[in-house]
């Protein structure tokens, strides 16, 4: 299957279009992707995945709370996780690994905790 992401990149001048590539298990059939208009939205998307999993495991919980180590463990549970981030100056997507995603998630959550500054 060929997916043309050029329209995403060309319509996204302010943010950096980000594609999160996930593989749930060693089986290649579990490969999937999620795309977002910015790195921050991608980090929100990953947190949302984790929060949905927490709600699925604990349906009676009203308030969810977790720390960064819990989120990292969730990320480590994927057989593979990487990101492609559009770089406007190069007109290309640059690849990033799971460790980069963890660093961006930490920075994003820290910024949110400080009131979005």
What's the pTM value of the predicted model, to 2 decimals?
Answer: 0.83
Cβ-based neighbours of 26, under 8 Å, separated by 6 or more: 79
On the CB side of 6, CA atoms within 13 Å amount to 2
Kindly give the residue spans of alpha helices, DSSP state H, lying in 28-116. 39-57, 68-76, 98-113
Tracing tokens 């490969």 back to the chain, one arrives at 31
The pLDDT score that the predictor gives to residue 11 is 46
Specify the CATH architecture of the domain 8-111. Answer: 2-Layer Sandwich (3.30)
pLDDT in tens, 44-95: 999 999 999 999 998 888 888 889 999 999 999 999 999 999 999 999 999 9
Cβ-based neighbours of 54, under 8 Å, separated by 6 or more: 61, 64, 66
For the chain, give every domain's residue range.
8-111
Token digits for 82?
Answer: 């990487």
């Amino acid at each position: 299957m060929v997916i043309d992401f050029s329209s995403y990149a060309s319509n996204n001048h302010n943010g950096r279009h980000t594609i999160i590539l996930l593989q749930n298990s060693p089986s290649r059939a579990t490969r999937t992707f999620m795309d977002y208009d910015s790195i921050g939205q991608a980090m929100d998307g990953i947190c949302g995945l984790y929060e949905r999993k927490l709600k699925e495991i604990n349906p009676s919980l009203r308030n969810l709370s977790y720390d960064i180590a819990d989120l990292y463990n969730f990320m480590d549970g994927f057989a593979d996780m990487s990101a492609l981030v559009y770089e406007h100056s190069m007109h290309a997507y640059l690849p990033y690994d799971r460790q980069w995603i963890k660093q961006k998630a930490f920075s994003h959550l820290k910024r949110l905790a400080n009131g979005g500054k």
